[in-house]
Amino acid sequence: MEAFQPDSFIAADVVPSPNHDELKNGRAPDLVLLHYTGMVDGPSALDRLCSPDSKVSAHYVVFEDGRIVQCVPEVRRAWHAGVSSWAGETDINSCSIGIEIVNPGHEFGYPDFPRRQIAAVIALCRSILARRGPISPDRVLAHSDVAPARKQDPGEKFPWALLNESGIGHWVPPAPLTPEGDRLQVGDSGENVAKVQLALSSYGYGVPATGVYDDTTRDVVVAFQRHFRQARVDGIADSSTLQTLHALLKGRPAPFRRLTEPDDRP
């Protein structure tokens, strides 16, 4: 692919990737999706994102030192989300801007994200939101949110609270962990399980309200915890997880509140 002008002035370089196509149905992206690269180093990740053989790409790559590289124009459909869904949509690539954050991930030690790198992610997100708004805060998401059975990035070390302090994303202080209280987990069934599934679905997660706490439900709860209740990621819907979920639903910005939000919450 030929070089192009970066969409944001804070992108230091353009390294074109051939892995993109047209946005489907002519829609403009209204979701920002954050990933980690999950490879041993940044150059290897950038090479893969720009290799025609990999069939993967992202709009941006943010390195540990804060350098930002753009690989795909924002008006094109980068191939970063894979099989995924959010709020009933399954073509996440067509509705999102994908940002890869250089971090080796869980497979290679999962170090903390450097402050300089997070500052660059914040600046990039603010640039995207300023140019492409309105984007609802609850549509700044993790890869694991939209593909909970497959992905865990950017993971439980990613500082979502810090982004929210800078006006990016939806966040509430997570409810404290407690040794007591209701706990729903794999193997449980009944009305309370269905209520939890409905609440997660109302926020956007792809889980049907079957009333059975199956592997799909556990994967979604894990993804929710990685994003919103990071102190313990175990796939168990305890009181801390449920209180945090209900606070998010209650505190969702009014113009973007989903009409399917349940009134009867567990």
Q: From start to end of the chain, where are the E strands?
A: 13-14, 20-22, 31-36, 60-62, 68-70, 76-78, 96-101, 140-142
From the candidates 100, 107, 156, 165, which is the catalytic residue?
100
Smallest CA-to-CA distance from 103 within 34, 32, 42 is with 42
Smallest CA-to-CA distance from 243 within 188, 176, 197 is with 176
Spatial contact of 162 and 171, defined as CB atoms under 8 Å apart: no
Q: How far, in Å, CA of 142 to CA of 32, rounded?
A: 9
Is 100 marked active-site? yes
Q: How far, in Å, CA of 217 to CA of 206, rounded?
A: 9
Smallest CA-to-CA distance from 20 within 66, 77, 63 is with 77
Smallest CA-to-CA distance from 173 within 229, 119, 217, 97 is with 229
Residues 6 or more apart in contact with residue 124 via CB below 8 angstroms? 8, 10, 11, 60, 62, 68, 99
How many other C-beta atoms can be found within 10 angstroms of the C-beta atom of residue 173? Answer: 10
Q: What are phi and psi of 186, to 5 degrees?
A: -55, 130
The tokens of 198 are what? 């409905």
The set of catalytic residues is: 100
